[in-house]
């Protein structure tokens, strides 16, 4: 058996949970939850929405929605963004982080994620605002059940947990 990756990081929510758990079982994969997060909107610091403590989907209606291109064969259950199937007036698909950040700043676009954003990666140009929706994300890691984690993977997970705690999230311990 050949594995392209030792571990993967993904989220489960109300929309994708059932399908993803069925795939985990079918492919003999183990999902280990790391933490739960509420959806946040990522926008450029100059976006008028930053004046709000929370935003609604209605608040976002006139702003371009930015999401990652998933390829022709990927199901919307594999989307990197929560709430990706909602109808929106303006949609822009991108292939990389630099482009999505530039469009958040330059076009007042937005994307939806966990609320964890690294200032080291975005130079304080992007901020996260809580999104007022009835949904949550369980972020975790995935591995094949037959695979024993390497020391590098174990160290990566240890560092990842420390990073997550640094954002004020509580790690889910099994």
Q: Does 129 share its domain with 70?
A: yes
Q: Does 24 share its domain with 63?
A: no
* CATH number for 105: 3.40.190.10
Q: Does 105 share its domain with 54?
A: yes
pLDDT computed for residue 54 by the predictor = 95
Query: Strand pairing partners for 11?
Result: 139
**Number of domains within the chain:** 2
Query: Strand pairing partners for 141?
Result: 9, 32
Start-to-end C-alpha separation, the chain: 28
Q: Does 55 share its domain with 114?
A: yes
Using alpha carbons, list the distances in angstroms from residue 146 to 17, 109, 156. Answer: 22, 42, 19
pLDDT in tens, 74-95: 444 344 444 445 566 677 777 7
Backbone angles phi, psi at 110, to 5 degrees: -145, 160
Using alpha carbons, list the distances in angstroms from residue 112 to 63, 135, 141. Answer: 12, 12, 20
Q: Does 115 share its domain with 171?
A: no
pLDDT in tens, 96-135: 777 878 888 888 988 888 887 776 666 688 899 999 988 8
Q: Does 43 share its domain with 32?
A: no
Q: Does 44 share its domain with 128?
A: yes
Q: What is the pLDDT confidence band of residue 151, given thresholds at 50, 70 and 90?
A: very high
Q: What is the model's pTM?
A: 0.77
Helix (H) or strand (E) holding 52: none
Task: Residue 127: give the domain boundaries.
Answer: 39-134
Q: Does 63 share its domain with 123?
A: yes
Q: Does 54 share its domain with 126?
A: yes
Burial of 94 (0-12, 13-18, 19+ CB in 10 A): middle
Q: Does 91 share its domain with 105?
A: yes
pLDDT in tens, 32-64: 999 999 999 999 999 999 999 999 999 999 899
Q: Does 122 share its domain with 151?
A: no
As a whole number of angstroms, the distance between CA 8 and CA 19 comes to 17
More confident residue, 47 or 67: 47
What single DSSP character describes residue 158? H
Q: Does 108 share its domain with 153?
A: no
Give the list of residues 6+ apart from residue 10 with CB closer than 8 angstroms, or none. Answer: 20, 31, 139, 140, 141, 142
């Amino acid at each position: 058996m050949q594995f392209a990756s030792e571990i993967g990081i993904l989220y489960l929510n109300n929309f994708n949970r059932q399908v993803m758990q069925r795939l985990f079982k079918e492919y003999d994969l183990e999902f280990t939850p790391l933490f739960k997060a509420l959806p946040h909107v990522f926008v450029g610091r100059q976006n008028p929405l930053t004046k709000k403590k929370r935003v609604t989907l209605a608040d976002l209606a006139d702003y371009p929605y930015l999401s990652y291109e998933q390829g022709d064969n990927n199901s919307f259950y594999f989307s990197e963004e929560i709430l990706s199937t909602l109808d929106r007036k303006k949609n822009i698909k991108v292939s990389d982080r630099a482009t999505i950040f530039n469009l958040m700043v330059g076009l007042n676009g937005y994307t939806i994620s966990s609320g964890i954003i690294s200032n080291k990666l975005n130079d304080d140009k992007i901020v996260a605002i809580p999104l007022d929706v009835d949904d949550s994300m369980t972020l975790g890691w995935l591995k094949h059940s037959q695979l024993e984690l390497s020391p590098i993977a174990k160290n990566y997970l240890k560092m990842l947990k420390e990073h997550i705690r640094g954002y004020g999230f509580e790690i889910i311990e099994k």
